[in-house]
């Protein structure tokens, strides 16, 4: 029922999500975690909506129970731990959603997720990010930011959907579908905002992706845009 209201909220005209200011939702999940499928389903519900960029980062600290997550990357575990450290938290959880780099939600809490996305989409994006494909390259630009601050520019590539038959661990015997599975999360530049941003990136492969500008820390996401 809660997921129904989430989907209704996403399509209501009065709650239309700003396409020029998408909200990044990071889900930290694992194929070895029995409480993760409801959160995976929530993330799948968000996929395809222009005003939200949902990304699933599979962590590796559940692998010890006998099933190695086929999408897990130690770098994603480190990223989740860095969020916890920046927020003053002593531990990390799965499933956990981080909305816009700053709001932490433990578990599959659709109403809380709706609230946080709505709050963030109403806030003006501090960085006006623009992406353009030019001759096989990706050109990333943004005007200078008054006052400046320490920021990182990141390139994320993901697989839109994949199905996995899980043979061991807490979810043994289940075949689950995962959405927007992050395959790489790469910092491509540091930027202080004092001068306009201008990058030309060489892209390989055909996976969809997104550019994310974020405060160091990791901190709040300041802008995000899908690859053209």
Mean pLDDT for the stretch of residues 39-43: 96
Identify the three-state secondary structure at position 30.
Answer: coil
Please spell the DSSP secondary structure of 124-175, one letter per residue. PPSS--EEEEETTEEEEEE---TT---EEEEEEEEEEEEEEE--SSTTTT-E
| Single pTM value for the model | 0.92
Q: Under a CB-based contact definition with an 8 Å cutoff, are residues 25 and 53 in contact?
A: yes
Asked if pLDDT for residue 14 goes beyond 50, the answer is no
Say what the pLDDT of residue 11 is.
Answer: 47
How confident is residue 3, by pLDDT bands cut at 50, 70 and 90? low
Mean pLDDT for the stretch of residues 51-76: 95
CA geometry: angle 104, 36, 86, nearest 5 deg: 25
CA distance 5 to 207: 31
Q: Under a CB-based contact definition with an 8 Å cutoff, are residues 210 and 89 in contact?
A: no
């Amino acid at each position: 029922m809660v997921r129904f209201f989430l989907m209704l909220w996403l399509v209501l005209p009065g709650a239309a999500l700003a396409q020029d200011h998408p909200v990044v939702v990071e889900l930290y999940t694992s194929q070895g975690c029995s409480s993760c499928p409801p959160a995976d389903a929530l993330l799948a519900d968000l996929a395809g909506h222009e005003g939200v960029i949902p990304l699933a980062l599979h962590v590796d600290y559940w692998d010890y129970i006998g099933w190695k997550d086929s999408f897990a990357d130690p770098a994603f575990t480190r990223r989740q731990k860095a969020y916890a450290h920046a927020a003053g938290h002593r531990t990390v959880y799965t499933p956990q959603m981080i909305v816009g780099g700053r709001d932490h939600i433990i578990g599959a809490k659709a109403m809380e997720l709706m609230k946080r996305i709505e709050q963030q989409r109403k806030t003006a994006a501090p960085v006006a990010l623009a992406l353009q494909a030019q001759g096989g390259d990706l050109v990333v630009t943004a005007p200078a930011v008054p006052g400046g601050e320490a920021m990182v520019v990141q390139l994320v590539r993901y697989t839109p959907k994949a199905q996995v038959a899980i043979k061991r661990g807490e979810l043994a015997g289940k075949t689950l579908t995962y959405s927007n599975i992050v395959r790489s999360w790469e910092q491509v530049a540091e930027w202080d905002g004092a001068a306009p941003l201008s990058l030309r990136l060489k892209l390989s492969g055909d996976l969809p992706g997104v550019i994310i500008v974020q405060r160091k820390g990791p901190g709040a996401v300041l802008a995000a845009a899908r690859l053209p």
